[in-house]
Amino acid sequence: MNEKFTKIGFILAVAGSAVGLGNAWKFPTLVGQNGGSAFILLYLLLTFCVSFVIFLAEIVIGRLSESDAVNAFYKLAPKHKKAWSTAGFFMISALLIYSFYSVVMGWILKYTAVSLFSLPTNIDKSGEIFTSLLENDILVSLICFTIASLICFYIVSKGVKNGIERLNVWMMPALFILLIIMVIYSMFYDGFLQSAKFLLIPDFSVLNKDSVLSALGLAFFTLSLGVTTIITYAASLPERTNILTSSLSIVFINVLIGIMMGLIVFTFIFEFGADPGEQGPGLIFVSLTVLFSKLGFVGNVLAFAFFLSLLFAAITSAISMIEPSVYYLVNSQRFSRKRAAELLFGVTYVLGIFCILGYYKETSGIFTFGGKSFFDILDYLTSNVLMPISGIVTSIFVGFVISSKPVKILLLPYMGETLFKIWYFLLRFIAPLAVLVIFITQNI
Ligand code: TRP
């Protein structure tokens, strides 16, 4: 018998998985570059027509099988069971994502610790500090990465209820409260109004083909799809949970936190005249720290709160990348949870170190392939190749391979006939095609 989440534990754990670094540096920038709320509307539309559709399909697989991903495909496939069960091994993508995600968590940990004491006062200095962390201070990188990774594996080794649920149930509200305080604080700055305009006033004229592709990619990434995380968490979904409303609240929390992060980040970007087009590490680690430094001690407190909330968001996502494989080893290979966690810690630790060495100036040559660092290769391989393929496989599996009867019995009480029909149609014909289109356009 599986260990089950409580209802709220399930929602918070899945929301914790969805809300991550993507919300902090992908969402705000893409929204900013693509016409504010016009992009948010597009993103919501694609979320509902594509990602949410596949999200529900993953929930169905987990809930019907109550098993780890490999076993789930095996159990549910009517024939060619062995062949289908290999689809469960997309869980490895989650480990690959974890390997570089945990390196970023190390950076965040370092910034959380340091931000209370000192912040760089100009952009050049700040850029130097960040580059130096990557290229020279290998020891600091390693120590922070090791601590971050140990925390995540420790939590997962404690199990679904005592580890994952317990952590999410306090960390997600804590993250939310920190963000609310920061949003309220931002309102006192002139930049806030500009930030709100930038994010929320729709400008449809900026939308183009690339916006559609970015929105679809983002919708896929932020819902943690295509790596069997949702299948695994849904295997511990408590009976009689309303699948539709819980899933909708998860999508809602995810978008809301993206918008809050965006409001905070852009308030300070506009307040101090920095570049709103910047994305990723440059935005968070370089620009934002300088902007906070202009506020004196308050800035230190804000920076600390900001990095702490980022750390929380990252940890709750990171543990959901480890759990699918841990659960597989425990459920299908008879490992103890502790042994499984230790083994996977070892594997991802080595990959993480390769990422770190790919940035370190003495070794970067060895860990760079075809002009791409090891870190970038893992990122590219997972986001652009493995996740889309898995999305297509999942929709075909639930849409065409397994019988529709148990799926209908599971979902009908929450959705009603019409909504079910729409979902089933989107799952069979629209979602796989849409993902195929991103897959092809991203890789040519
Ligand atoms: N959703 C997370 C974020 O926005 C990142 C993520 C992508 C993820 N794929 C995942 C998390 C798979 C857990 C599992 O940052």
Please tell me the distance between residue 103's alpha carbon and the centre of ligand 1 in angstroms: 14
Is residue 2 assigned to a domain? no
Domain annotation covers residue 260? yes
Is the shortest distance between the CB of 90 and ligand 1 below 6 Å? Answer: no
Q: Provide the percentage of residues in the chain whose pLDDT is more than 70.
A: 99
Q: What would the pLDDT profile of 311-363 be if each residue is shown by its tens digit?
A: 999 999 999 999 999 999 999 999 999 999 999 999 999 999 999 999 999 99
Whether 1 has a pLDDT exceeding 70, the answer reads no
If you search the block for the tokens 């570049």, which residue do you land on? 275
Distance 145 CA to ligand 1 centre (A): 18
Closest ligand 1 atom, residue 227 Cα: 12
Residue listed under structure tokens 């390769």: 354
Which is the closest atom of ligand 1 to the Cα of 26? 4
- Residue 199 has a pLDDT of 85
In a domain, 174, yes or no: yes
What are the distances in angstroms from CA 299 to CA 32, 107, 186, 288? 24, 19, 11, 10
Q: Is 227 in the pocket of ligand 1 (CB under 6 A)?
A: yes
Q: What backbone phi and psi angles, to 5 degrees, belong to 369?
A: -125, 125
224, 229, 312, 348, best to mutate for ligand 1 pocket (most atoms within 8 Å of CB)? 224
264: amino acid identity, one letter: I
Residue 27 has pLDDT above 90, yes or no: no
Residue 35's pLDDT is what? 79
pLDDT band at 203 (very low <50, low <70, confident <90, very high): confident
How many domains are there within the chain? 1
296 CA to centre of ligand 1 in angstroms? 34
Q: Is the pLDDT of residue 56 over 80?
A: yes
The predicted-structure confidence for 91-138, as pLDDT tens digits, reads as follows 999 999 999 999 999 999 999 999 999 999 988 899 999 999 999 999
Q: How far apart are CA 425 and CA 84, in angstroms?
A: 22
Q: Residue 399: is its pLDDT beyond 80?
A: yes
Quote the pLDDT of residue 297.
Answer: 92
Q: How far does residue 63's CA lie from ligand 1's centre (Å)?
A: 20
Contact 281, 77 (CB under 8 A): no
Amino acid at 146: T
Q: Cβ(21) to ligand 1 under 6 A?
A: yes
pLDDT mean over 418-424: 97
Mean pLDDT of 383-405: 95
Cβ–Cβ < 8 Å for 433, 399: no
CA separation for the pair 5, 165 (Å, rounded): 7
pLDDT tens digits, one per residue of 140-161: 999 999 999 999 999 999 999 8
- Min mean pLDDT across 200-214, 401-415, 426-440 is at 200-214
pLDDT at residue number 439? 84
Q: For residue range 162-171, what is the model confidence (pLDDT) as tens digits?
A: 999 999 999 9
Q: Is the CB of 157 under 6 A from ligand 1?
A: no
Q: Is the CB of 310 under 6 A from ligand 1?
A: no
CB of 231 closer than 6 A to ligand 1?
A: no
281 has pLDDT over 60:
yes
CB of 218 sitting under 6 A from ligand 1: no
Strand duo 372-373 + 368-369: pairing: antiparallel
Flag whether 325 is in a domain: yes
Instruction: Answer yes or no: is pLDDT of 417 > 80.
Output: yes
Q: Cβ(390) to ligand 1 under 6 A? A: no
Q: What is the pLDDT of residues 206-242, one digit of tens each?
A: 888 888 888 888 888 899 999 999 999 999 999 889 9
Cα 297 to averaged position of ligand 1 atoms, centre (Å): 33
CATH number at residue 262: 1.10.4160.10
Q: Whose CA is nearest to atom 12 of ligand 1?
A: 224
Choosing from 105, 156, 222, 380 the residue with most ligand 1 atoms within 8 A of its CB, the one to mutate for a pocket test is 222
pLDDT of residue 407: 97
How much distance in Å is there from the Cα of 225 to the middle of ligand 1? 8
> Is 342 a domain residue?
yes
Residue 413 counted as domain residue = yes
Nearest ligand 1 atom, CA 254? 4
State if residue 221 touches ligand 1 by the CB under 6 angstroms criterion.
Answer: yes
Of the listed ranges 263-267, 394-398, 426-430, the one predicted with least confidence: 263-267
pLDDT at site 214:
85
Residues of the domain holding 117: 7-442
The residue whose CA has the least distance to atom 9 of ligand 1 is: 224
Band (pLDDT 50/70/90 cuts) for residue 202 is confident
424 or 265: which leads in pLDDT: 424
Does some domain include residue 1? no
**Can you tell me the distance from the alpha carbon of 132 to that of 149, in angstroms, rounded to the nearest whole number?**
22
Average pLDDT, the chain: 92
